[in-house]
């Protein structure tokens, strides 16, 4: 059995920080982080591309970049997943910049209905929401996506978007307010 496969499959009870330290010394340990985080990063990218093949390519680039930068990575309490999402977001934005296509936002219908009912306090057809989302700017959409679909805390969103936490909170409530006003005006 190859050593890397052995490390990857070993049931080691390391926490994230220890695993990152081990990966800095021996990159084969990164396999455990890769296996743990792959699905969530893939889903995150898929929501922004709606294309399996493209998402797989971008996710592969994300992990490659993370591996190449592992020695420079400083653990500051923000989960590593947020760090990977930050790279993923930049990869997706770079892709849309290169191809000059409109950004895809793929939303799960059931999820959307739940969010609308709990946060905007309104029952609405999913199709009608499309016109409302178009009123929001790129940052507001990103904040709402990360908050609702990824379940991220404000400090993680601030880290991913490279913004201040209070700015993120303010923009989040402003975006919700904007949606409520438009819904009540319709």
Contact residues: another protein, CB under 8 A: 4-5, 8, 27-28, 30-31, 34-35, 38-39, 42-43, 46, 50, 52, 56, 59-60, 63-64, 67-68, 101-110, 112, 126-127, 129-130, 133-134, 138, 141
Q: How far is the CB of 11 from another protein (least distance, A)?
A: 16
Name the residue nearer to another protein (CB basis): 94 or 166. 94
Name the residue nearer to another protein (CB basis): 106 or 184. 106
Among 1, 9, 38, 7, which residue's Cα sits nearest to residue 23?
Answer: 7
Q: How far is the CB of 61 from another protein (least distance, A)?
A: 10
Q: Are 42 and 59 in contact (CB under 8 A)?
A: yes
Q: How far is the CB of 85 from another protein (least distance, A)?
A: 16
Q: How far is the CB of 140 from another protein (least distance, A)?
A: 11
Name the residue nearer to another protein (CB basis): 50 or 181. 50
Burial (0-12, 13-18, 19+ Cβ within 10 Å), 25: exposed
Name the residue nearer to another protein (CB basis): 40 or 167. 40
Residues 6+ apart with CB under 8 A from 131: none
Name the residue nearer to another protein (CB basis): 62 or 159. 62
Q: Rounded to the nearest 5 degrees, what angle is found at the Cα of 41, between the Cα atoms of 159 and 161?
A: 20
Q: How far is the CB of 155 from another protein (least distance, A)?
A: 26
Q: Give the H or E element holding residue 97.
A: helix 80-99
Measured CA to CA, the distance from residue 64 to residue 66 in angstroms comes to 5
Measured CA to CA, the distance from residue 147 to residue 156 in angstroms comes to 9
């Amino acid at each position: 059995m190859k050593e890397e496969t052995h490390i990857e499959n070993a049931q080691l009870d390391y926490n994230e920080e220890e695993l990152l330290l081990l990966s800095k010394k021996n990159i084969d340990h990164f396999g455990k982080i890769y296996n743990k985080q792959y699905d969530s990063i893939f889903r995150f990218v898929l929501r922004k591309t709606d294309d399996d093949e493209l998402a797989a390519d971008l996710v592969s680039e994300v992990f490659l970049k993370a591996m190449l930068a592992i020695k420079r990575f400083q653990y500051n309490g923000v989960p590593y997943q947020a760090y990977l999402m930050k790279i993923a977001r930049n990869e997706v934005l770079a892709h849309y910049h290169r191809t000059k296509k409109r950004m895809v936002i793929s939303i799960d219908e059931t999820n959307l209905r739940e969010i609308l009912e709990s946060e905007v306090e309104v029952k609405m057809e999913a199709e009608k929401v499309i016109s409302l989302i178009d009123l929001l700017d790129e940052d507001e959409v990103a904040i709402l996506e990360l908050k609702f679909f990824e379940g991220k805390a404000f400090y993680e969103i601030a880290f991913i978007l490279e913004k201040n936490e209070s700015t993120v909170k303010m923009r989040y409530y402003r975006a919700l307010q904007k949606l409520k006003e438009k819904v009540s005006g319709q």
